[in-house]
Amino acid sequence: MNRSRLVLNKTIQIICNLFIVCLFTLSTSSIYANDWKENLRGYNSAMKQTEKPKIIYFYADWCHACESVKSEIFGNTKVQEVLENFAAVKIDVDQGENSSIVRKYMTIVYGNSGSYAIPEIFLVEAGGDRIVRIPPVNRTTPNNFNEYLNKFLSNKIPFVKKRQKNEVTRERPKKGPVNIQPYYGYMQAQFSWQPRNFALQSGLGEPGSNAPKEVYGIDTGFTFFKRYGFGVELYLGLAYYDQKIGSYLDGGLSFNILDLKGFQVWLTNGIGTGPFSVSSTHIFMNYYIKTTFMIGRQISLFSKMRFYFDYNTVFDMQNPYWSFGTGYAF
Amino acid sequence: MLFKLVSNIKSKYSWFLPFLLFLLFGFNACGAAAIQDEIDPDAFAWKYKAILISGDSSITAFDNARESVKRLLVSKGVKPGDIYELSRIKAKLRGRIKYTTEKNIENAFKQLKVGLNSACMIFMSSHGSEYGFSIDGVELFTPDELNALLIKYCGTQPAVVIVSACYSGIFTNNKMLHPNRVIMTAARKDRTSFGCGVENQYTYYDGCLVANLSAYRTWRSVALSARKCIERKEVGLLPSLPQIYIGQDVRTLQLPTR
């Protein structure tokens, strides 16, 4: 009985000793096996080592991902072998003395917003101060981290300029509302002087069946050079949009491509801007095909098929709109 | 008759008609171009860990979106165990789905356990104000709070943040714009978004997002196509102007793949 207890005690003692040895090995040799210098003093001393490139690791105790970098990357023996070629510094971002170093490096990546994330790892060339940031995708495994370090050592990683602004892709629509139009379909009374040469037009717009509600327009315009088969059109209008009234300008070139005894087809391409005071600069281009039937010399019926491009949507094509109207020529 | 028509056109404007046709149809063709999925063949296959939050109990649209996004993520190979869900509708609180509160959102972040090959995805759908994401009007989850959680628990790993709420553009403030993040919001910071009616299955933005999540392979394409979809839906409304931010680390970030 005593003997078996003695054997059991001995076994437990051996296991405990082994466990302690393992813990000691892990804590001292496996993680941060390299000669890591720390914080401001360590950074300054590493920077004096001009013969070696530097690796600078920013971390904090509260940072969850830093634990993974510490154990999986810096704890890896193959990584540690490559790190022998570097002067290694780790910077605790929570230490007040490091604030200037943190600012210097984080500004490169995060700009001046004051917000940054960790872990971040930077490489600095030997004998210089050109800096490379290691992107997260290059530290997903010890192997690809080593690959990146080796590329750096063989000068295959392009340097970024010191304090370079973070290059980001900001996908933003231009300011101002999109998809608005002064008016879509409209009923228009047409007044003409010298009908084939010069026309004064005035119309009250109302939304077509497929047009946004609360968009009404009234405009007055001129058409010049109509007798030559084309017209230069210029309109000044008022649009009621978003419960506000704003003015707009619209103009363009119209070309009469067909004229058969009262049946006319006009192609127009135009550009307009507005409604002012309702939105910020809003520029639109529109193309429309206008078909006119003259009834006698004074009354006309016309329809327009309008293609509409909006500058604010990067000239994205909107749905074509049909509009119908009548005109009366004096 | 036809001959007369053609000769009439030709005689007057033979040079100009092709030019006009080019303007009309050439330009149209440019404008109507579809979004190209810029797939990087060498892109790393990140392992996604997701938090899906619906923050309001007044309508089911927010929860419908959360559930659909979950289904899509699972169908794309994300493990159900790596998806943490929060809802404000008590009837939905079964299994791992927790009640949406700020504290539970932080708890969900704590459980993410982001590794070096992990990417975070945060989807939030609810009402919103100019100050934050509304949790049933009881709590307000602000961009600063979300930023702090992302920094602490996702660090510099890729993170996709989708906020579907009125005024959600506030989540693209300068502090949020980290290079490892894709941020998509349903509206600009000064605009409302639409589709919060009882009759709606999804809000407008959630509907567009769900429709495009299965159609594209990169987040960039999903974001751009969702924005186009919104533009088509919002004719006649004051546009919500969905916001997109794509950091330099994640320009070609792909959706989860099996």
Confidence check: pLDDT of B70 > 80 = yes
Longest CA span, chain A = 128
- Shortest alpha-carbon distance between residue A156 and chain B (Å): 18
For the segment A156-174, the average pLDDT, to the nearest whole number, is 50
Q: How far apart are CA A227 and CA B212, in angstroms?
A: 52
For the segment A65-91, the average pLDDT, to the nearest whole number, is 92
pLDDT digits (tens, 9 = 90+) for A111-128: 888 899 999 999 998 887
Percent of chain B with pLDDT over 70: 86
Q: List phi, psi (to 5°) of A65.
A: -70, -25
Q: Give the pairing of strands A87-92 and A37-38.
A: parallel
Asked if omega into A119 is within 30° of 0 (cis), the reply is yes
B206: left (phi over 0), alpha (psi -120 to 50) or beta: alpha
Amino acid residing at B161: V
Across the beta sheet with A131-133, the strand order is A37-38, A87-92, A54-59, A120-124, A131-133
pLDDT number for residue A251: 79
Confidence check: pLDDT of B2 > 90 = no
Highest mean pLDDT among A22-31, A176-185, A194-203, B64-73: B64-73
pLDDT digits (tens, 9 = 90+) for A312-326: 433 333 434 444 444
Q: How many helices (H) and strands (E) are present in chain B, helices listed first? A: 8, 10
pLDDT number for residue B159: 97
Task: List the single residue in A135, A140, A315 with the smallest CB-CB distance to B117.
Answer: A140
Question: A160: how many CB neighbours lie within 10 A of its CB?
Answer: 16
Residues 6+ apart with CB under 8 A from A138: A144, A145, A147, A148
pLDDT number for residue A291: 75
Contact (CB<8Å) A171/B179: no
Q: Which residues pair with A34 in a beta bridge?
A: none
Confidence check: pLDDT of B21 > 60 = no
Q: How far apart are CA B76 and CA B96, in angstroms?
A: 20
- Helix H or strand E segment including A29: none
Question: B235: how many CB neighbours lie within 10 A of its CB?
Answer: 15
pLDDT number for residue A13: 73
Inter-axis angle of helices B204-213 and B61-75, nearest 10: 10
Residue A52 in contact with residue A86, Cβ under 8 Å? yes
Highest mean pLDDT among A60-69, A151-160, A167-176, A280-289: A60-69
Percent of chain A with pLDDT over 70: 54
Confidence check: pLDDT of B4 > 70 = no
pLDDT number for residue A240: 67
Task: Please indicate if any CB of chain A lies within 8 Å of the CB of B228.
Answer: yes
- Please give the DSSP secondary-structure letter assigned to residue A113: S
pLDDT number for residue B75: 94
B246 contacts in A (CB within 8 Å)? Answer: 168-171
Q: How far apart are CA B253 and CA B39, in angstroms?
A: 9
pLDDT digits (tens, 9 = 90+) for A101-112: 999 999 888 888
A169 contacts in B (CB within 8 Å)? Answer: 246-248, 251
Task: Please indicate if any CB of chain B lies within 8 Å of the CB of A276.
Answer: no
Q: What is the pTM of this model?
A: 0.65
Contact (CB<8Å) A136/B27: no
Contact (CB<8Å) B155/A117: yes
Calculate ∠ Cα A55-A56-A58, nearest 5°: 145
CA dist A191 → A188, A203, A248, A259 (Å): 10, 10, 21, 20
Q: List phi, psi (to 5°) of A125.
A: -65, 155
pLDDT number for residue B92: 93
Q: How far apart are CA B10 and CA B151, in angstroms?
A: 68
Kindly tell me the sign of the dihedral angle through the C-alpha atoms of B38, A137, A110, B160.
positive
Structure tokens at A233: 């059109």
pLDDT band at B200 (very low <50, low <70, confident <90, very high): confident
Contact (CB<8Å) B20/A267: yes
Confidence check: pLDDT of A23 > 70 = no
Residue closest to B164 by CA, chosen among B114, B230, B221: B230
Confidence check: pLDDT of B22 > 50 = no
pLDDT digits (tens, 9 = 90+) for A207-222: 443 344 445 566 666 6
Task: List the single residue in B28, B236, B248 with the smallest CB-CB distance to A212.
Answer: B236
- Shortest alpha-carbon distance between residue B190 and chain A (Å): 11
pLDDT number for residue B248: 85
For the segment A22-31, the average pLDDT, to the nearest whole number, is 44
pLDDT number for residue B142: 96
Q: Is A225 in a helix, a strand, or coil?
A: coil
In angstroms, how far is CA B69 from the centroid of its own chain? 11
Q: How far apart are CA B166 and CA B207, in angstroms?
A: 15
Task: Please indicate if any CB of chain B lies within 8 Å of the CB of A311.
Answer: no
Average pLDDT, chain B: 86
Confidence check: pLDDT of B17 > 60 = no
For the segment A198-215, the average pLDDT, to the nearest whole number, is 46
- Helix H or strand E segment including A169: strand A169-171
Structure tokens at B81: 């165990």
pLDDT digits (tens, 9 = 90+) for B31-41: 334 577 777 77
ipTM of the complex: 0.82
A11-15, B131-135, B224-228: which has the minimum mean pLDDT? A11-15
Kindly tell me the sign of the dihedral angle through the C-alpha atoms of A216, A221, A225, A226.
positive
Residues 6+ apart with CB under 8 A from B15: none
Task: List the single residue in A72, A115, A118 with the smallest CB-CB distance to B147.
Answer: A115
Confidence check: pLDDT of B26 > 50 = no
pLDDT: is A298 or A42 the higher one?
Answer: A42
Tell me the three-class secondary structure of B102-119, residue by residue.
Answer: HHHHHHHHHHHCCCCCEE
